[in-house]
Structure 1
Amino acid sequence: MTNYARMYRFGVTPWEGYAQAAAPSVAALLDREVADRTPPLGRALDLGCGRGQHTPELARRGWETVGVDVVPRAIEDARAAATAGVTYVVGDVTELEEAGLGTFGFFLDVGCFQGLDAAQRTAEGRGVTALADPGATLLMLAFQPTRLRRLVEGVAQADVMAAFPAWELLDVRAADTAGLGWPMNRTRPQWYRFRLSGR
């Protein structure tokens, strides 16, 4: 598993460049989430938010937004550039039930899930399910596994679905790879969209 705290300390954060390059395509996906709902939108949780590359975009669309990340340095930086309507919390996505965050109607995971091992992925799925409002949706960006997995991680669709057994997979689509340098541009990133079933 990647040591993200060390990467932040040394200023090696290639995912932030992708957030800027892919901003228009991500915006379209977030707009779709808003279009499917009637205001007020409720609460959204950005899982593994880092320094808040995507979190403010949720607030701008009308969500009461929380960003959670396990790296204190990242959360400090996010808070320093805080946007109205956003709260940042140091927390572990594998221990969401213990974090006292409340419940949410929308979850965003951009590259966090793929960096977890199998037990941690199951724990994230369990926590997200416990915090989900009826009819909640989840939007996740994850790289697919490749021979370069040690460098850039990645998960198969089966891994994603196994962690969220109570959720219905609504859509899978290829992500825009603009701004992804080698080797990340070889990972065939996918967007997964889920809705919580039966609640």
Structure 2
Amino acid sequence: MTNYARMYRLGFTPWERYGPAAGAQLRSWLDRESKERPSPGRALDIGCGRGQFTPELVDHGWQTTGVDLVPAAIEAAREKGPAEAVYVVGDATDLSPDLGEFDLFLDVGCFQGLDGAQQAALARGVTALANPGATLLMLAFGPSAFRRMVEGVSQAEVEAAFPKTQWELRDVEDATTEGLGFPMNRTKPKWYRFRRTTS
């Protein structure tokens, strides 16, 4: 697992270069979500970092909370805003019930950096906080020869963490590699959209 706290301290955050391209795709996903819901509800940005994508949720009308393990990242996110977003320090693998319940979860690059047990823990936490019919949007690198350097998960690993008895996989689409330098541009990133079952 990457030591993100150390990388933030060093000012080395190469994943943020992916923001403009990934943000454009995220807007498309959120537009699609808006067409399927009468109104937006509460959203949780998991592993929000310095709040790169959180404003997109706010702009689409979601009552948004961002959570990240690195206090310095949360501090930067709070300074950046928007004021409507709430940012809290927290562990994605141990999501607190105090966060409340949510209708939308966003995970851009968090799940892929966890080991199997941590992925399962994140999924349990998301499931526990999910309202019936909630959506999970996830952007993750795929496995590659550079996995130890840049991380990544297979579709099978993603689906195993969010089983069909609890989540329905609605869409899987290739993500753009624009803005990703080598070797991240060799990871074949994908977007996943799940819907929490009502049973």
TM-score with structure 1 setting the length: 0.96
CA distance in 2, matches of 1:27, 1:160: 22
Shift of residue 26 of structure 1?
2.1
Counterpart in 2 of 1:118?
A: 116
Whole-Å separation in 1 of the counterparts to 2:134 and 2:94:
19
Question: What is the identity, as a one-letter code, of the residue corresponding to 1:42?
Answer: G
Q: CA RMSD in A?
A: 1.0
Which residue number in structure 2 is paired with residue 153 of structure 1?
Answer: 151
Query: Is 2:172 the partner of 1:172?
Result: yes
DSSP-derived class of the 2:93 partner: helix
One-letter amino acid of the counterpart of residue 57, structure 2: L
1:1-199 pair list within 5 angstroms: 1-39=1-39, 41-96=40-95, 98=96, 100-165=98-163, 166-199=166-199
Which consecutive segments of 4 or more residues in structure 1 shift more than 4 A?
Answer: none
User: How many Å apart are 1:99 and its aligned residue?
Assistant: 5.1
Quickly say closer, same or farther: Cα 1:25–1:99, change in 2 above 3 A. same
Q: Give the Cα–Cα distance (whole angstroms) in 2 for the partners of residues 84 and 32 of structure 1.
A: 25
Note the residue ranges of structure 2 that are not aligned, 5 or more in a row.
none
Count of aligned pairs: 197
Identity %: 64
Q: Which secondary structure does the structure 2 equivalent of 1:138 belong to?
A: strand
Residue by residue over 1:17-76, the C-alpha shift from the partner in whole angstroms, topping out at 9 and shown as x without a partner, is 10123332221112111221112x110000000000000110111000000000000000
3-state DSSP of counterpart to 1:100: helix
Instruction: Tell me, yes or no, if the aligned pair for 1:48 and 1:68 is still in contact at 8 Å.
Output: yes
How far has the Cα of 1:84 moved from its partner?
2.9
CA distance in 1, matches of 2:5, 2:24: 28
- For residue 80 of structure 1, report the CA deviation from its aligned partner: 0.7
Contact 1:51–1:78 (CA under 8 A) maintained in structure 2: yes
